[in-house]
Amino acid sequence: MQVIKYVFQPHGDDRGQLVALEEFKDIPFRIKRVYYMYDTGAGVTRGYHAHRSLEQILICIHGSCKIRLDNGREKKVIPLEKPYEGLYVSNAMWREMFDFSPDAVLMVLASELYDERDYIRDYDEFLKYVKANGGDADAEE
Ligand code: T46
């Protein structure tokens, strides 16, 4: 499984740091939605779903957390702990977010508006979906 982690360019000076993100330049899709989660309880795992079409970039802009990605064949855990790093999460990718530090703020840039019909929340259905769509469940790498 190929993990794509973007390292954004901070514009630092003696006042501190600033990161700017532009669609199609720093982010590989049109940004239609931004959301973020914070105050995540200790020991909580979120996610447990995949998306049919949605692409996203996850940025832990404060604190740290971990993301488990699963393409139906392989799983990887990616730590997010820098405000200038962004993890690309494609469609047809099961995701779980966990190990949030108490101060973690996980911001997500999304390619589509919120649509519950885009979610696959059942793991067996996800495996069938990647198989039927020629996804990584069968791919060699
Ligand atoms: C994803 C991971 C990384 C909305 O009303 N609008 C929104 O745009 C979103 C994202 C959520 N919601 C509502 C739906 C639920 O009642 O907020 C509540 C919590 O959402 P959810 O349980 O889907 O949150 P997570 O953390 O499991 O998943 C979210 C995204 O939904 C998902 O697309 O990839 O973060």
81 alpha carbon to ligand 1 midpoint, in Å? 21
Tokens of 81: 């702990």
Residue 96 to residues 28, 37, 67, 101: CA-CA distances in angstroms? Answer: 22, 13, 6, 15
Q: What is the pLDDT of residue 134?
A: 78
For residue 54, the tally of other CB atoms under 10 A from its CB is 23
- pLDDT for the residue 135: 66
Q: Sketch the domain layout of the chain as residue ranges.
A: 4-12+22-132
Dihedral sign of CA atoms 81, 78, 47, 45 in order: negative
Q: What is the pLDDT of residues 8-63, one digit of tens each?
A: 999 999 999 999 999 999 999 999 999 999 999 999 999 999 999 999 999 999 99
* Residue 108 Cβ contacting ligand 1 at under 6 Å: yes
Query: Which atom of ligand 1 lies nearest, measured to the CA of 37?
Result: 26
Residue nearest to atom 24 of ligand 1 (CA): 47
The answer for residues whose C-beta is within 8 angstroms of residue 48's C-beta and 6 or more apart is: 94, 96, 121, 123
Q: d(Cα 92, Cα 6) in Å, to the nearest integer?
A: 20
pTM for the full predicted model: 0.95
49 flagged as catalytic:
yes
CB 134 less than 6 A from any atom of ligand 1: no
| For residue 141, pLDDT beyond 70 | no
What is the DSSP code (8-state) at residue 116? G
Atom of ligand 1 nearest to the CA of 56: 34
Which pLDDT does position 79 carry in this prediction?
98
pLDDT digit string, tens, across residues 73-96:
999 999 999 999 999 999 999 999
Any ligand 1 atom below 6 A from CB of 50: no
Is CATH 2.40.50.100 correct for 4-12+22-132? no
Pair type for strands 56-62 and 85-89:
antiparallel
Measured from the CB, is residue 98 less than 6 Å from ligand 1? Answer: no
Q: Is 46 a pocket residue for ligand 1 (Cβ < 6 Å)?
A: yes
- Which H or E run includes 99? none
Q: Tens digit of pLDDT for each residue in 108-138?
A: 999 999 999 999 999 999 999 999 997 654 4
Percent of the chain with pLDDT over 90: 94
